[in-house]
Amino acid sequence: MTTMSASPAKAAPRDNPLLQTWQTPFETPPFSDILPEHFQPAFEKAFAEHTAEIAAIKVDPAAPTFENTVTALERSGKLLSKVSAVFYDLVGANSTPELLEIESKVALEQARHWNPIMMDAKLFARIAALRQNAAKLSLTPEQARLLERTWTHFHRAGAGLDEAGKARMAEINERLAHLSTTFSHNLLADEQDWTLELGEGDLAGLSDSFVAAAKAAAAERGKPGKMVVTLSRSSVEPFLQSSARRDLREKVYKAFTTRGDNKNANDNNSAILEILKLREESAKLLGYPSFAAYSLEDSMAKTPQNVRDLLERVWKPARARALADRDALQGLIAEEGGNFKLAAWDWRYYAEKLRQRRANFDDAAIKPYLALDCMIDAAFDVAHRLFGLTFNERKDIPVWHPDVRVWEVKDSAGKHKALFYGDYFARPSKRSGAWMTSLRDQQKLDGDVTPLVINVLNCAKGEEGQPTLLSPDDARTLFHEFGHGLHGMLSNVFYPSLSGTSVFTDFVELPSQLYEHWQEQPQVLQKFARHYQTNQPLPEDLLKRFLAARKFNQGFATVEFVSSALLDLEFHSQPAASIADVHAFERKELEKIGMPVEISMRHRPQQFGHVFSGDHYAAGYYSYMWSEVMDADAFGAFEEAHDIFDPAVAKRLHDDIYSSGGSRDPEDAYIAFRGRKPEPDALLRGRGLLDESEAA
């Protein structure tokens, strides 16, 4: 193992809070004590400890047993997990140039640390021997699952390769670690570097809440009294939807869709090409024809063709709906006297006008009823009614930024279950998007270890002294990430590797997307959607119009997602040597599927962090739609019970989906909950696209 070189500036272990037992409530990280210079020596010690633990397993003279091999592996690397969790939380949610520089080094060190472990022949031989004799080992179902998953991880990492293959795989992994970190840093830099300052004459169409958020964003960037649009999605999308200034919409749209694609120091095009070549080479070393084939073998989908079949099934009706909407939007432009062709930066603006006409509804009407605090309370209340959880805010838990809030979570018996951290506001130090992660995972191998779960969002913060008002999309995202959070908080497994969200990528989105359904239920909105000034509940008429408008513009939403998912699949299915230019490949694939020029993909390649800032969703962006088939079908269980909080259905949901982590096969888990496999038509029904599908 190569370790980081010693530095006179690094903190001595006794002074390093990362290497001490934390004397904080629930042994949470003491963020105010942790400085950037603490991380490199902490990682160095963590790597060394883990290497020694692995060596002890390998040289154990006793015949391999589940306890001395698999359980020993589960117990190894605790310090590394602890340090990594804190570090990557800060890098994502509150980065500094110093932390990003450290990340570039740590990414390489991580690869150099894990490569020899995951490709170790002696270690793999012990695991393979246990797997071969699994039937004689009297394993519990969770132990059997863990053994199979452990073998799979080692096998897919290249533990069965010859020495030349292992050496090349190690080189590939190191280079990919560097490239994915570079991709992420470039994207963050482009997002941080750009703002559009608004003058008083630039506000036509913008809501009071947007203007307040633009002032807050300017103040955050050291421009008090100014107003800026940022490249956070929560700033861009409402601007495109409401700004009457077509010239400014074009500026914002182009800046947003060219992040990482500006031929500057942050350009990601060359990184994409190299990533694709290296991923393909690694897959072929392991005997797969493409990276997509390699990636999808270890998923519910299993093959690229199964993914393509699902996406194409949805694409045809979605495109038909989008084209019909496009013609209606063009008609609206003509009706208003416009003599221009609908462009991508016009779609949201005119779609909002069309929605107001067809459904008598616009987002600006409902935003005053969707205050952030009320939607947090709503998410908590749903969890209480489904699973008996209670949430009590704690002010004594250290946090990484003053805006972060923490709640103690207790179960129905009043027993401590978890801590939940909410980091909701956009800021320059935070990467874009929304995600769930953890500082500690639930497990019972070493006592009853309770999780520390994090939700990170990028909501546009309200002006000083004013509440933050959410768009319907922001509110849905809050519920989505909280669904992931519940997957971590409700986890009830023995082994760390199977905890919480440690499941197939195309299953991990089920708990999150399913939870979104409750956000738009009338009985939830009637209770928690209250006007931020009057505290009056959402009027019945507005509620009905909101619910009726939910399926509006679904052709657009589906097209922008499916096009991204199909491009991801093709990037990783076609020979990398045939992709010489990212732009040309993008154009070719979009022309092939008949992509409407008036719609942009949800993620263009150069900013597609899901796929290129690491490989978790590489050839896997389809997962959101695969899970949507299940979530639409799963919510049907509550609808069939005529009670969205039906206790019997909620108990099955808890036991079979939210608490079981990766301890069972996901298809078996779903069937245990629903009584059958999911019905794909539920997705098309949910998006209002089934009629076109049947007519096609």
User: What letters, b where the CB count within 10 A reaches 16 and e where it falls short, cover 164-178?
Assistant: eebeebbebbbbbbb
Question: Which of 44, 191, 352, 481 is flagged as catalytic?
Answer: 481
Return the residue matching tokens 């076109």.
692
pLDDT of 390-439, one tens digit each?
Answer: 999 999 999 999 999 999 999 999 999 999 999 999 999 999 899 999 99
C-alpha to C-alpha distance for 577 and 421, rounded to whole angstroms = 44
Whether 481 sits among the annotated catalytic residues: the reply is yes
pLDDT on residue 254: 98
Contact between 65 and 129 (Cβ < 8 Å):
no
The neighbour count for residue 159, using CB atoms within 10 Å, is 22
pLDDT on residue 689: 87
pLDDT on residue 350: 97
Cα first-last separation, the chain = 58
Bridge-based pairing of strands 452-459 and 416-425 is parallel
CATH architecture designation of domain 13-118+120-160:
Orthogonal Bundle (1.10)
Question: Could you state, in order of their start, the residue ranges of all structural domains in the chain?
Answer: 13-118+120-160
- Strand-pairing partners, residue 406, are 394, 421
pLDDT on residue 295: 97
The closest alpha carbon to 513, from 319, 683, 300, 308, belongs to: 683
pLDDT on residue 688: 87
Contact between 519 and 476 (Cβ < 8 Å):
yes
Q: Is the dihedral of CA 276, 279, 285, 289 positive or negative?
A: negative
pLDDT on residue 631: 94
C-alpha to C-alpha distance for 159 and 166, rounded to whole angstroms = 7
User: What letters, b where the CB count within 10 A reaches 16 and e where it falls short, cover 362-393?
Assistant: bbbbbbbbbbbebbbebbbbbbebbbbbebee
Q: What are phi and psi of 115, to 5 degrees?
A: -55, -55
pLDDT on residue 13: 53
pLDDT on residue 14: 63
State both tokens at 503.
Answer: 């499941």
Contact between 403 and 423 (Cβ < 8 Å):
yes
Spell out, as residue ranges, where the chain has pLDDT lower than 70.
Answer: 1-14, 691-696
State both tokens at 464.
Answer: 């000083």
pTM of the entire predicted model: 0.93
C-alpha to C-alpha distance for 42 and 11, rounded to whole angstroms = 9
pLDDT on residue 11: 45
Contact between 126 and 57 (Cβ < 8 Å):
yes
The helix or strand, by DSSP H or E, that contains position 344, with its residue range, turns out to be none
pLDDT on residue 691: 63
User: Measuring CA to CA, how many Å separate 443 from each of 20, 312, 482?
Assistant: 21, 40, 20
- Strand-pairing partners, residue 538, are none
